[in-house]
Amino acid sequence: MTTRALPLKEPPDDQVERYSLTERIWHWLASLSYTYCTLTGLALFSPYLYWLAAVFGGGPTIRFWHPWLGLVFLASVVWMHGNWRDDLRLTEADREWRAKIGSYVENRDQELPPQARFNAGQKLFYWAMFYAILVLLLSGIVMWFPERVPRNLIVILPVVVILHEAAALISIGAIIIHIYMSVFAEPESLRAMVHGKVSRAWARNYHRLWYEKVQGQRRPAP
Ligand code: HEM
């Protein structure tokens, strides 16, 4: 008896590339380095969470690697900034989308204005992370080398620590929304970040301006 294999993927013609391999590698580098920094940072933040240190090799080990992985995260955000900045810039059109955020939350997508590559919510997430990483970087460098802080400025150290923690907590709030929206609320987004492609129907539905632009680029010149 012969069995016919069911097609596991849609035919390529039904799909459109959303993220190149390079884009996906940098994104997952950001995710891994950010996750490491968050979990080890939480271990250093509260004695109640210090058990997390044991998971990553102990206190001295995470104290050593936390700032280095922070630099890897910084590098990936710098890469995103250099390559996605134009797509992530907030525009006048985003105001309308933000005014109709209720329709987005309640899945009444047909009431929303057509979107380019990223919607206003995705852009706001990025900018929250961007400013958080700036504060994390500046405060983190001071905390990395506390012995280099001049004696007469040592009083600023507790303020620097609070700034570092506040920026980390803001980024954690932002990432929870990011993961919820892109993994659970919109599973095809996750597929895009894993395999690089989305269905044409998804692209048309959620990012029509971007889809039309990509389509235009595919058309042969007259
Ligand atoms: C930690 C786990 C993470 C998961 C599971 C995750 C998942 C995803 C997914 C599925 C997408 C595709 C969304 C779409 O095209 O519709 C995406 C996009 C994106 N991710 Fe992440 N991500 C994570 C962490 C991060 C981190 C740490 C950053 C750092 C800035 C980041 C920045 C972005 C940006 C800028 C985009 C494009 C715009 C957007 O969709 O928000 N991600 N992510």
| Residue 185 Cβ < 6 Å to ligand 1 | no
CA distance 181 to 178: 5
* 144 burial via Cβ count (<10 Å: 0-12, 13-18, 19+): middle
Helix (H, G, I), strand (E, B) or coil at 199: strand
pLDDT tens digits, one per residue of 158-177: 999 999 999 999 999 999 99
User: Radius of gyration over alpha carbons of the chain, in Å?
Assistant: 21
Query: What is the predicted pLDDT for the residue at 12?
Result: 66
- Ligand 1 pocket: which of 35, 124, 178, 195 to mutate (most atoms <8 Å of CB)? 178
Q: Quick one: tokens of 28?
A: 């997952």
Confidence of residue 178 (pLDDT cuts 50, 70, 90): very high
List of domains in the chain: 18-209 (1.20.950.20)
Closest atom, ligand 1, to C-alpha of 206: 16
Closest atom, ligand 1, to C-alpha of 198: 15
pTM, 2 dp: 0.89
The whole-chain average pLDDT of the chain stands at 91
CA distance 160 to 134: 13
The mean per-residue pLDDT over the stretch 174-198 comes to 95
| Residue 192 Cβ < 6 Å to ligand 1 | yes
